[in-house]
C-alpha cells in the first residue's frame, strides 16, 4: 500500500489553506463516509482488478470523482452505491487502457511458504485469485459484491448499471463458472 509521508501531508495542508474548493460534502462528513466505505471499496477494487497498487490509485480517483460530482443522494446507502458505481466505471476505463491490461491476466500468483492454518488460508486465497483470473471483469464484480460483500441484487444492479432482474441469471452463470474452476474443472 502506498505510504503517505508527513512532508506530503504538510504540503497538502499548506496548499489547502489557500482556498477550499466546494465539494458535495464538507470534510467532517467526508471523514465519516470514508471511514464507513474505504475498506470495502478498496477490497472491491483490489479483488476485481487483481492489483493492489492499482486499487490504491483507483481508490483516490473514485473519492475525487465522487466529491466533484454534483449529485444529490437520498441516504447513505444511495451515496455508497454511487461511490461503487464510479469505482466500477473507473475499473472498466482502466481495462481499456493498454498499460492496465496485464493486470487482469495475472493467473500465476506464487504461493507463500508458511505452515498450519495460515498456509491453508494462503493456499485457498491463491486458488481463488487464480480462479478469479479466469473470469470476465463483470463476473468478478458480480461475485465479489454478492459473496465478498453480501450486497443485495438491487444494490449490485445499481453499482454495475444492470437491471435488477438480470442480476440473478448473470450471478448464476458467474457462480457456476467460478465453482467449476475452484473444483478444478474448466471455466
Helix, strand, coil distribution of the chain in percent, nearest 5: 70, 0, 30
* Cα distance between residue 58 and residue 46, in whole Å: 9
* Cα distance between residue 14 and residue 34, in whole Å: 22
* Cα distance between residue 122 and residue 112, in whole Å: 7
136 makes contact with other proteins (CB under 8 A): no
**116: region left, alpha or beta (phi > 0 left; psi from -120 to 50 alpha):** left
Among 54, 84, 144, 155, binds other proteins (CB under 8 A): 144
- For helices 27-49 and 52-68, the axis angle rounded to 10 degrees is 140
Residue 54 Cα distances to 41, 45, 62, 99, 128, angstroms: 13, 8, 12, 11, 19
CB of 134 to other proteins, least distance (A): 13
Among 71, 125, 136, 152, binds other proteins (CB under 8 A): 125
Three-class DSSP category at 178: helix
CB of 34 to other proteins, least distance (A): 4
154 makes contact with other proteins (CB under 8 A): no
Q: Which of residues 41-100 bind other proteins (CB under 8 A)?
A: 42-43, 46-47, 52, 59-60, 63-64, 67-68
CB of 153 to other proteins, least distance (A): 10
Residue for grid cell 487483481: 50
178 makes contact with other proteins (CB under 8 A): yes
User: Where does this chain bind other proteins (CB under 8 A)?
Assistant: 1-2, 4, 8-9, 12-13, 15-16, 18-21, 23, 27, 30-31, 34-35, 38-39, 42-43, 46-47, 52, 59-60, 63-64, 67-68, 121, 124-125, 127-128, 131, 143-144, 147-150, 168-169, 172, 175-176, 178-179, 182-183
Amino acid at each position: 500500500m502506498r505510504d503517505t509521508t508527513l512532508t506530503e501531508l504538510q504540503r497538502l495542508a499548506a496548499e489547502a489553506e489557500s482556498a477550499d474548493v466546494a465539494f458535495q460534502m464538507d470534510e467532517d462528513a467526508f471523514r465519516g463516509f470514508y471511514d464507513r466505505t474505504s475498506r470495502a471499496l478498496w477490497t472491491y477494487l483490489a479483488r476485481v482488478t487483481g492489483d493492489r497498487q492499482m486499487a490504491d490509485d483507483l481508490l483516490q480517483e473514485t473519492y475525487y470523482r465522487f466529491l466533484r460530482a454534483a449529485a444529490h443522494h437520498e441516504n447513505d446507502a444511495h451515496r455508497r452505491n454511487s461511490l461503487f458505481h464510479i469505482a466500477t466505471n473507473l475499473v472498466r476505463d482502466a481495462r481499456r487502457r493498454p498499460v492496465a491490461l496485464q493486470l487482469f491476466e495475472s493467473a500465476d500468483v506464487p504461493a507463500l511458504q508458511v505452515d498450519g492454518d495460515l498456509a491453508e488460508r494462503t493456499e485457498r486465497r491463491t486458488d481463488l485469485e487464480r480462479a478469479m483470473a479466469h473470469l470476465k471483469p463483470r463476473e468478478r464484480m458480480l461475485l465479489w459484491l454478492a459473496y465478498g460483500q453480501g450486497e443485495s441484487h438491487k444494490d449490485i444492479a445499481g453499482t454495475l448499471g444492470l437491471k435488477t432482474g438480470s442480476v440473478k441469471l448473470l450471478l448464476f452463470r458467474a457462480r457456476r463458472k467460478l465453482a467449476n474452476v475452484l473444483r478444478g474443472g474448466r471455466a
